[in-house]
Structure 1
Amino acid sequence: MWIGTLFALVAGLVWGLVFIAPVLLPEYPAALLSFARYLAFGLIALPLGWLDRTNLRQLTAADWKDALKLALVGNVVYYCCLASAIQLAGGPLPTVIIGTLPVVIALCSNRRNARRDGRLPWQRLGPSLLLILAGIGLVNRAELALLTESGQLDLANYALGAVLAVFGVACWTWYPLRNADWLRAHPDRNPRTWATAQGLATLPLALIGYAGFWLWNAASGSAFAMPFGPRAQAFVGTMFAIGLLASWIGTLCWNEASQRLPTALVGQLIVFETLAALAYALMLRGTAPDRGTLVGVGLLVAGVLWALQGGGLRPEPEGVQGHA
């Protein structure tokens, strides 16, 4: 349990980096950021795949098809939605919407995977979910108020950013459920191999997307300087950093956690990503969190501790829960 939780924590710390990339590179289109990040991930996966080629050969055609689906929905489409939402609506709103993932995933997985994992009793699961949801709301309340008071609120962009963030939640609710399905169905497979396989499956998607964006950029007469934009060194360095840290190491750690913990529980641990994203944003801004933010963080941490220690870690078999 604790090893699985530690892996989820590391995944959250590195995944938090993806929220600040659109802020560091605001002049870069969100689609280009998404394709470049996963192009870097795929290129990093090539030598790793060669080193792990023995295990990769054991994957079937059906396994590679699953890896391709996961790469498309959970990587390329999700991050394109997230980066677009952050650039359109600013950081706070997408963060609070994406931050509902722990609750959404736990609610979806507690019924969907009940036969396989057992069902976490709602009377134990509910308090931790409510604490996490309340914490997310408090963390973002001050941020949303600051955006409104500064006069930077564009209602049209704000609404579109919200829609894209909701679509991102849908993508990343589907991804961990399907990813956990594969990992729990293949307990003999190495989570590292599965992370590398997803990177390799992402590479052709990212190449096609990057080339397509380049062609569209040229055809539309855009002044944006392809292939690496106006700040090539910063762009390439940032993409490879999050490609290695957030994409490969983050996926590896999440796979390790997903193979050890019930999906309803590991879904709640995505809250580590929200906490990390908030910490990185405050460090970039050079400001200390206000009282509301601190209380919200406290509630988030309390929710995670409740989930880990509140007895919900022993799922009841589907038949037992059905008669309760």
Structure 2
Amino acid sequence: MCTGILYALAAGLMWGLVFVAPLLLPGYPAALLSVGRYLAFGLIALPLARMDRAALARLGRADWTEALKLAAVGNLLYYLCLAGAIQLAGAPLPTMIIGTLPVVIAVSVNLRDARRDGRLPWLRLAPSLALIALGIACVNQAELHAPDAAAGAGRLQGVLLACAAVACWTWYPLRNADWLRRHPERSPRAWTTAQGVATLPLALAGYLLLWPALRAAGAGFPMPFGPQPLRFVALMAAIGLFASWLGTLCWNAASQRLPTALAGQLIVFETLAALGYAFALRGHPPGPLALLGIALLAAGVAWAVRIRPQPLPA
């Protein structure tokens, strides 16, 4: 249990990096950020696939089909929606919407996988969920009144895209955990690499389609790497390595060790890390209400990790 929680914490710290990348590359299309990140992830996965070639050779057609689905929805589509939301509404508001994932996933798993994982008692789970939801509301309220908060249609569009990202990443960890729990003998590292290999052709195709699409739109955007090529390549390589491969590796290791409902709640580490990075990028600390919200989020996670699932009667 402790090892699984530490893996989830490491994954959250690395995943938080993806929330600030769109802010460091203003003016870049969200689609380019998505395909660029996962093109880097796929290229990083190729030499790793050589190391795991024996484990990858044991994967069948159904396994590769599942890896392709996870790559399309949990990687490319999720980050397309998230990057677009951050560009339209700023980092904090989409971050807090993504922060509802622990609540959404825990409720979904308690309804869907109680027979397999045991049921987290609703009465004991409720205070944890309430603390997390209240913490999200506090930070959200503080950010809505921030001087640099997005306004108008941009905020609404950002909210809708962030909700779509939540839908993608509610589906992804449930399906990913299903595969990992059905194959406890398989290496989480090899499964992570398999998803990277599956992502590569999708990202490459997206990149090649985006190039003429931007030219046809007359946006005047310089391809292939945009107006800041060195920063773009460096950021894509960094988040491709740390957020996409190493972060997913840590998350897969956590998913094999923890009940899915508990692992879903620990995604809150990603929210806390993203908020910390966003405030550091702003150059000033969060206000009292935001700090209260962060404390409530941490308290909700601390409460959740004490709950043990109860097996259902046969």
- TM-score exceeds 0.5: yes
Deviations 1:101-128 (A, max 9, x none): 0100000011211111111111111111
CA contact 1:85–1:162 (8 Å) conserved in 2: yes
Which residue pairs with 2:116 in the alignment? Answer: 116
Structure 2 partner of 1:282: 279
1:299 aligns with 2:296: yes
Task: State the AA in 2 paired with 1:77.
Answer: L
8 Å Cα contact 1:106/1:267 also seen in 2 = yes
Correspondence for 1:234 = 231
Q: In angstroms, what is the RMSD of aligned CA positions?
A: 1.1
State percent identity of aligned pairs: 65
Structure 2 partner of 1:74: 74
CA displacement at 1:160 relative to structure 2: 1.2
Structure 2 counterpart of 1:316, which letter?
Q
- AA aligned to 1:3 is T
Q: Distance in 1 between matches of 2:83 and 2:267?
A: 18
- Measure the CA separation in 2 of the matches of 1:162 and 1:139: 15
How far off its partner does 1:21 sit?
0.3
Kindly indicate whether the alpha-carbon contact (under 8 Å) linking 1:92 and 1:144 is maintained by their aligned counterparts in 2.
no
Amino acid at match of 2:270: E
What's the counterpart of residue 158 of structure 1? Answer: 155
Q: What secondary structure sits across from 2:146 in the alignment? A: helix
Task: Give, as a single letter, the amino acid of the residue that structure 1 aligns with 2:217.
Answer: S
SS at 2:223's partner residue?
coil
- Equivalent residue, structure 1, for 2:269: 272
Match of 1:214 in 2: 211
How far apart, in 2, do the equivalents of 1:220 and 1:138 lie?
41
Is the partner of 1:254 in helix, strand or coil? helix
Contact 2:93 2:140 in 1 (8 A): yes
Shift of the 154–289 alpha-carbon distance from structure 1 to 2, 3 Å rule, reads closer
The offset of 1:140, in angstroms, is 2.5
Which runs of structure 1 show a deviation greater than 3 angstroms over 4 or more consecutive aligned residues? none
Deviation at 1:213, TM superposition (A): 0.4
Q: Structure 1: any 5+ residue segments left out of the alignment?
A: none
Partner of 2:255: 258
Deviation per CA, 1:198-253, whole angstroms, max 9, x where unpaired? 00000000001000100111222321000000000000000000000000011001
Aligned equivalent of 1:145: 145
Which residue is equivalent to 1:96? 96
Name 2:57's counterpart in structure 1.
57
Contact 2:88 2:150 in 1 (8 A): no
For residue 137 of structure 1, report the CA deviation from its aligned partner: 1.4
1:271-300, Cα deviation, whole Å (9 max, x unpaired): 000000010011111102211121111111
- Contact 1:22 1:87 survives alignment (8 Å): yes
8 A Cα contact 2:5 2:266, kept in partner: yes
Q: Is the 8 A contact 2:92 2:275 kept in 1?
A: no
The letter for the 2-side match of 1:282 is F
TM-score (structure 1 length as normaliser)? 0.95
Q: CA deviation at 1:267?
A: 0.4
Alignment: residue pair count: 314
Find the counterpart in structure 1 of residue 201 from structure 2. 204
* Deviation at residue 74 of structure 1 after TM alignment: 0.3
Question: Is the contact made by 1:68 and 1:201 (CA closer than 8 Å) also made in structure 2?
Answer: yes
Q: Which runs of 5+ in 2 are unaligned?
A: none
The CA distance in 2 between the partners of 1:269 and 1:126, in whole Å, is: 16
- The answer to whether 1:6 aligns with 2:6 is yes
Partner Cα separation in structure 2 for residue 67 and residue 153 of structure 1: 36
Distance in 2 (CA, whole Å) between partners of 1:301 and 1:89 is 25
Counterpart of 2:310?
Answer: 316
Q: Secondary structure at the match of 1:288?
A: coil
SS at match of 1:170: helix
Match of 2:188 in 1: 191
TM-score (norm 2): 0.98
Q: 1:154 Cα deviation (Å)?
A: 3.6
1:181 aligns with 2:175: no
Q: Which AA in structure 2 matches 1:253?
A: C
Secondary structure at the aligned position of 1:42 is classed as helix
